[in-house]
């Protein structure tokens, strides 16, 4: 445990005017209150508050925050009271300790309704004094660093909560170093095999290529010295979790992943940042689309820096971040820079965000949320997403999450504007509604009376507000059509098991599924929010599978005992097709067809391939295949198509429209089949139908296994 004088020395390093006596008194009081208490590791409990205080000294925080860290568990876990803490250490510190105590008691990973309520309390506490969340984040960081002493199930719960809530919150507040460490500590618990695999590959790579970081750092320093630019250069390998996330997102192996190294150049001035950029681009080839200027367009959390990715030594991609010392302090500390001290006085960093203004904006937006889901959508948008700042034609700023489209912009102005949107102009040029907006663009929305939202819009928008408004409009407009379609889907599905979709059967299913009535059930069935098989299974579970058929759990031969599998979504293999298994950490074995194009990327990893084959017996109709249909836009056509599929003893599990024209509809229909022969029979029957212009198997090679 850190001695009190050592702790005071850490504070004096950046604040020579610290109130050492008050820190000593808080240290002694905390030690006394926690006497006889121990952590699961067996250490005295007070080692934890002291460690939290030491973490906060790394951010050069004020005395009140350091003392709050020493006392943050006293009101909750000891005989100490708010009144006594206030009397001995002052009202400010008592308020901070009480605020941290309330945050500790919030269950942020509970049910949606409770989670929304607790998030609201979290931001209210933060709005009173943001230092409470700084202490709480440091508290969580130390707990994650020492998590091994907890029970395995508790470790997993804390790690997931940290990954889902506290790490993104640290990132949203600009404390990127803390976000990365929290993510990596959580990753170590959630997926230790993946993390260890990445570390082993790093060691192998270093053995093969030598110390790349040292070499590239020296290269950059040499180029800058040649141009007479004073700057500090640092390099590092990216965190295992960051690398794993890129591997998952890009579906690439470690050997094919680029820019796993990052470098920072810390300059003396803004002008030098751009001079450094010029030197680097002259020396190494820049990668198109991998340049971002956050100095001229700062992030909303105060982050400023230039990012560029270049082809460095041996063609390896490296990311370079260029910033001044003041920008670097904000990049490291985020909003904590607002309270940091230097040489005994509060540091005045012009780039540190105003936390009060940020939180006020945040809480005002939350107050306008109509329901819990919308509230949580706002929370996630604020915490988890970078912002894009756009302008109205009158010059007013509209903040949207990264990836937002003109439709998101329209709905952010008013639901009526979004619903009636027929087009958009960005910087005066007409653009498609799915265009991704960029910082600084001016957006103008064109509307037309009688225009209504389309189902395809749901795939275009990213904000919760826009999605909720579109779904509401579609439900109202299409309810009758969905009910009609749902009734047809239900009829076919019930007849498939030798029963009729009577009103009583539908009402019973609705009751079991906690729906208001049978019309609501049919509406959801028709809009693909429910599957026909799930409705039938609710009423007649014993009839869903015929006796003697091989269910999906026994369908594959060649798996090890206890080994789980599922079918790849990219190629959707069915019995009768040649298959191969690929092992994925945390997913078991994923089955692909032998000709699946995604297998090409795995040719260099033969140890992951598993020789498999389908069971030779009759299979249950549980294997989903997506069909891409283009059909006539005439009355009754869709109903006939559903009936035709049902006549082939196949069940429709999902249906979605992807294009609607005046004369034709294009849709994707998910059908549950027995085997490849069953698939051919269904497709042949559809091809023979005069209202079907085209039918083909839909393979989505962009989907993850």
- The residues carrying an active-site annotation are 76-77
| DSSP for residue 164 | I
How many residues are given for the chain? 705
Strand-pairing partners, residue 584, are 588
Compute the distance between CA of residue 193 and CA of residue 187 in angstroms, rounded to an integer.
Answer: 10
Instruction: Give the DSSP letter string of 45-111.
Output: TTHHHHHHHHHHHTTT--HHHHHHHHHTTHHHHSS--HHHHHHHH-HHHHHHHHHHHHHHT--TTS-
Give me Rg for the CA atoms of the chain: 30
Instruction: Give the DSSP letter string of 384-404.
Output: H--EEEEE-TTS-EEEEETT-
Count of CB atoms situated within 10 Å of the CB of 370? 9
Provide the CA 403 distance to its chain's centre, in angstroms: 13
Given a contact cutoff of 8 angstroms between Cβ atoms, the answer to whether 299 and 388 are in contact is no
Residue 699 CA: distances (Å) to CA of 193, 313, 571, 669, 671: 31, 39, 6, 12, 13
Q: Are strands 306-311 and 556-557 parallel, antiparallel or unpaired?
A: unpaired
Compute the distance between CA of residue 355 and CA of residue 338 in angstroms, rounded to an integer.
Answer: 8
Compute the distance between CA of residue 533 and CA of residue 226 in angstroms, rounded to an integer.
Answer: 71
Given a contact cutoff of 8 angstroms between Cβ atoms, the answer to whether 68 and 130 are in contact is no
Compute the distance between CA of residue 525 and CA of residue 493 in angstroms, rounded to an integer.
Answer: 11
What would the two tokens of residue 142 be? 């130390």
Compute the distance between CA of residue 561 and CA of residue 612 in angstroms, rounded to an integer.
Answer: 14
Residue 73 CA: distances (Å) to CA of 18, 30, 205: 23, 9, 45
Given a contact cutoff of 8 angstroms between Cβ atoms, the answer to whether 46 and 34 are in contact is yes
- Label residue 659 left, alpha or beta by phi (over 0 means left) and psi (-120 to 50 means alpha): beta
Nearest Cα residue to 422 out of 460, 448, 450: 448
Compute the distance between CA of residue 391 and CA of residue 409 in angstroms, rounded to an integer.
Answer: 10
Nearest Cα residue to 697 out of 627, 592, 597: 627
Return the H-helix or E-strand segment holding 408. Answer: helix 406-413
Compute the distance between CA of residue 607 and CA of residue 582 in angstroms, rounded to an integer.
Answer: 9
Compute the distance between CA of residue 450 and CA of residue 342 in angstroms, rounded to an integer.
Answer: 62
| DSSP for residue 38 | B
CA angle, 581 then 587 then 590, to 5°: 20
Provide the CA 56 distance to its chain's centre, in angstroms: 28
Report residue 585: phi and psi, to 5°. -65, 130
Compute the distance between CA of residue 441 and CA of residue 438 in angstroms, rounded to an integer.
Answer: 6
């Amino acid at each position: 445990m850190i001695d009190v004088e050592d702790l005071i020395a850490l504070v004096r390093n950046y604040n020579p005017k610290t109130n050492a006596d008050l820190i000593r008194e808080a240290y002694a009081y905390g030690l006394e209150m926690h006497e006889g208490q121990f952590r699961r590791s067996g250490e005295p409990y007070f080692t934890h508050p002291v460690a939290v205080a030491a973490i906060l000294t790394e951010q050069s925080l004020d005395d009140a925050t350091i003392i709050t860290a020493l006392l943050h568990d006293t009101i909750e876990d000891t005989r100490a009271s708010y009144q006594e803490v206030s009397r001995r250490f002052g009202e400010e510190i008592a308020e901070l300790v009480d605020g941290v105590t309330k945050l500790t008691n919030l269950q942020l990973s509970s049910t949606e309704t409770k989670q929304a309520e607790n998030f609201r309390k979290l931001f209210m506490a933060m709005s009173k004094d943001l230092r409470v969340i700084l202490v709480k984040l440091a508290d969580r960081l130390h707990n994650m660093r020492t998590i091994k002493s907890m029970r395995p199930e508790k470790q997993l719960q804390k790690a997931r909560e940290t990954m889902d809530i506290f790490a993104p919150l640290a990132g949203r507040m600009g404390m990127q170093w803390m976000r990365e460490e929290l993510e990596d500590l959580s990753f170590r618990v959630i997926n230790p095999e993946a993390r260890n695999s990445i570390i082993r590959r790093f060691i192998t790579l270093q053995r093969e290529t030598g110390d790349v970081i040292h070499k590239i750092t020296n290269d950059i320093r040499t180029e800058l010295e040649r141009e007479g630019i004073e700057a500090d250069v640092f390099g590092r390998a990216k965190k295992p979790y960051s690398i794993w996330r890129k591997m998952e997102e890009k579906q690439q192996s470690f050997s094919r992943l680029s820019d796993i190294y990052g470098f920072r150049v810390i300059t003396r001035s803004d002008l030098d940042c751009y001079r450094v950029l010029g030197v680097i681009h002259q020396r190494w080839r820049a990668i198109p689309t991998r340049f971002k200027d956050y100095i001229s367009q700062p992030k909303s959390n105060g982050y400023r820096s230039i990012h560029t990715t270049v082809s460095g030594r041996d063609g390896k991609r490296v990311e370079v971040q260029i910033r001044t010392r003041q920008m670097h302090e904000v990049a490291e500390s985020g909003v904590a820079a607002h309270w940091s001290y230097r040489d005994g006085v509060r540091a005045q960093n012009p780039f540190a965000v105003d936390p009060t203004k940020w939180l006020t904006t945040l809480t005002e937006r939350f107050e306008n949320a109509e329901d819990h889901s919308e509230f949580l959508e706002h929370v996630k948008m604020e915490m988890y997403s970078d912002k894009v700042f756009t302008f109205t034609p009158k010059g007013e700023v509209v903040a949207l999450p990264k990836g937002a489209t003109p439709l998101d912009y329209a709905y952010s102005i008013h639901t009526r504007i979004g619903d009636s949107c027929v087009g958009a102009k960005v910087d005066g040029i007409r653009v498609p509604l799915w265009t991704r907006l960029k910082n600084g663009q001016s957006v103008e929305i064109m509307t037309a009376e009688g225009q209504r939202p389309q189902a395809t819009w749901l795939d275009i928008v990213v904000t919760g507000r826009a999605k909720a408004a579109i779904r509401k409009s579609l439900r109202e407009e299409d309810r009758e059509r969905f009910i009609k379609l749902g009734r047809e889907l239900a009829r076919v599905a019930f007849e498939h098991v030798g029963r009729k979709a009577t009103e009583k059967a539908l009402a019973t299913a609705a009751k079991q599924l906690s729906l208001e009535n049978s019309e609501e059930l049919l509406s959801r069935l028709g809009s693909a929010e429910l599957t026909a098989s799930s409705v039938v299974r609710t009423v007649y579970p014993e009839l869903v599978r015929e006796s003697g058929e091989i269910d999906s759990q026994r369908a594959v031969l060649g798996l090890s005992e206890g080994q789980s599998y599922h079918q790849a979504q990219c190629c959707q293999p069915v019995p009768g097709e040649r298959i191969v298994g690929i092992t994925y950490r945390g997913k078991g074995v994923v089955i692909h067809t032998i000709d699946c194009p995604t297998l090409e990327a795995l040719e260099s990893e033969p140890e992951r391939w598993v020789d498999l084959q389908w069971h030779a017996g009759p299979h249950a109709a549980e294997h989903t295949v997506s069909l891409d249909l283009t059909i006539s836009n005439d009355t009754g056509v869709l109903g006939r198509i559903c009936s035709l599929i049902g006549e082939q003893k196949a069940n429709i599990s999902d249906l979605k429209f992807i294009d609607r024209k005046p004369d034709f509809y294009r849709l994707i229909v998910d059908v549950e089949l027995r085997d490849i022969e069953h698939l051919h029979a269904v497709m042949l029957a559809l091809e023979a139908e005069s209202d079907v212009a085209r039918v083909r198997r839909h393979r989505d090679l962009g989907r993850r296994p």
